[in-house]
Copies of this chain bind each other. A is one copy, B any other.
């Protein structure tokens, strides 16, 4: 059998496109999605669109009821709590592996990424509040965590973290609330903890980082939907 990487199928393109539309705010939370309209818009039939929506549904970005409709899911605070429990588990494991397996070059890369992140979080609000800038910041934050996971050497863990859409929710609410406040050198200190050859310490530092993000997001939620 041919194990070459599959060419980008229409289903895949639909998935990427719809996902981007949701994350970028083109499809705000709660928006109804019509398979037929969307298919016409994307220049394809409804089948690949349905495939994509099914994937997004299992991932929790979208919800669908038979013969009723599909819409962009509005995560509840209970959803957020649940997702963060999973994320705490996965990211702390990722931190353990990073502290055990990362090379000096990789550690340097992570430390630099952390510095960049902290700078952007410090200046971002003042300089540029556009959606594009916030989206870029969101992506960089995601990259920071994904690079840490990649350095752990287990693709399965990377995939599990990527499938956990807390950062996605984070971005959605960031967009709504324009919330980008963080303590000084927040990521910098985390990165330093990860580089100290102490898996338990790395685990704990990442747990604190994740829980800080969770509480921050829950505060935002309570303001948005009070």
Chain A residues close to B by CB (< 8 Å): 1-3, 6-7, 9, 51, 54-55, 58, 65-66, 68-69, 71, 79, 81-83, 85-86, 88-90, 92-93, 97, 152, 154-157, 160, 164
Contact = CB atoms under 8 A, between A and B. Distances in A.
A1 B70 CA distance: 10
A87 to B, nearest CB: 10
Main secondary structure of the interface of A (DSSP, over half): helix
Given A7-B66, A66-B7, A89 B157 contact: yes
Contacts of A157: 82, 85-86, 89
Question: How many protomers of this protein does the assembly include?
Answer: 2
A156 B6 contact: no
A17 to B, nearest CB: 18
Contacts of A93: 85-86, 88-89
A85 B158 CA distance: 11
Nearest to A9: B66
